[in-house]
């Protein structure tokens, strides 16, 4: 039996499609660490805790995305409002365009943008307001045309003793580390379920495609004229 000249078998390297696939995945996942079109999970901590009215207090905010990757280069600041955080007027998590009525409420104090001291960690100092319980708004204005807002409750104590908060409640207990969630902005799908599916689906999809490529057999043959030998 005679083989036709010019034919040979050649394996197609798998690393080429895999490399392109992984690059696309890295771009898709990596963008979440610098962007805020996804929800962002945060922690806020005050030192001293509780703050003492009229004394300096340091606020520390850490931000991560749903994959627990530090959110860097954010534009974050905080505002204190003298309203009970349980008041119906106070949304727990909202975007700026949806919070028009809330944002019209007067502020007791507001910080400048907090400098980033470590990956996804933002720290600033301000003078604590009078004793009481406040709604503290964490405002992320990284996207100039929209912002994400999270509201939490914070207690401020008096000098050496607890103060009297809104509604006559004693103030003086430590706030501890307070967790919050900044919502996705309208630059992305508004459904939280859609975002969770998108974020979790990327790594799962990449893993599935990598497995398929790894198990796939190389093409049987490729034509390369002049590279083969004839024989019987």
In a domain, 231, yes or no: no
The lowest-confidence range among 19-28, 75-84, 175-184 is 19-28
Rounded to an integer, the average pLDDT of 158-164 is: 48
Q: Kindly give the pairing relationship between strand 56-64 and strand 93-95.
A: unpaired
Which range, of 4-8, 35-39, 41-45, 196-200, averages the lowest pLDDT?
4-8
The CATH number of whichever domain residue 74 belongs to comes to 2.60.40.1930
> Is residue 20 domain-shared with residue 40, that is, in the same domain?
no
Residues above pLDDT 90, as percent of the chain:
34
Check whether 1 has a pLDDT greater than 60.
no
Lowest mean pLDDT among 61-75, 132-146, 164-178, 184-198: 184-198
157 touches 97 (CB < 8 A): no
Residues 100-113: what's their mean pLDDT?
A: 89
pTM above 0.75, yes or no: no
Domain that holds residue 130: 36-182
- Average pLDDT of the segment spanning 169-176: 70
H/E stretch holding 137 reads strand 132-140
| pLDDT above 50: residue 160 | no
- Are residues 45 and 27 both part of a single domain? no
């Amino acid at each position: 039996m005679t083989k036709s000249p010019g034919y040979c078998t050649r394996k197609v390297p798998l690393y080429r499609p895999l490399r392109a696939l992984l690059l696309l995945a890295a771009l898709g996942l990596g963008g979440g660490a610098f962007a805020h079109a996804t929800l962002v999970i945060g922690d806020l901590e005050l030192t001293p805790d509780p703050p003492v009215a009229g004394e300096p207090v340091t606020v520390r905010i850490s931000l991560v995305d749903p994959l627990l990757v530090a959110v860097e280069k954010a534009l974050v600041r905080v505002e204190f409002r003298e309203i009970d955080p349980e008041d119906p007027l106070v949304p727990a998590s909202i975007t700026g365009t949806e919070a028009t009525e809330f944002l019209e409420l007067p502020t007791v104090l507001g910080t400048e943008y907090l400098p980033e001291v470590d990956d996804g960690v933002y720290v600033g100092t301000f003078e604590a307001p009078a004793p009481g319980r406040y709604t503290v708004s964490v405002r992320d204005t990284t996207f100039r045309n929209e912002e994400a807002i999270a509201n939490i409750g914070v207690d401020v104590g008096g000098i050496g003793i607890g103060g009297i908060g809104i509604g006559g409640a004693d103030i003086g207990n430590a706030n501890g580390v307070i967790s919050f969630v900044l919502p996705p902005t309208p630059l992305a799908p508004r459904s939280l379920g859609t975002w969770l599916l998108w974020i979790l689906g990327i790594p799962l999809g990449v893993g599935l495609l990598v497995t398929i490529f790894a198990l796939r057999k190389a093409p049987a043959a490729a034509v390369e004229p002049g590279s083969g030998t004839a024989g019987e």
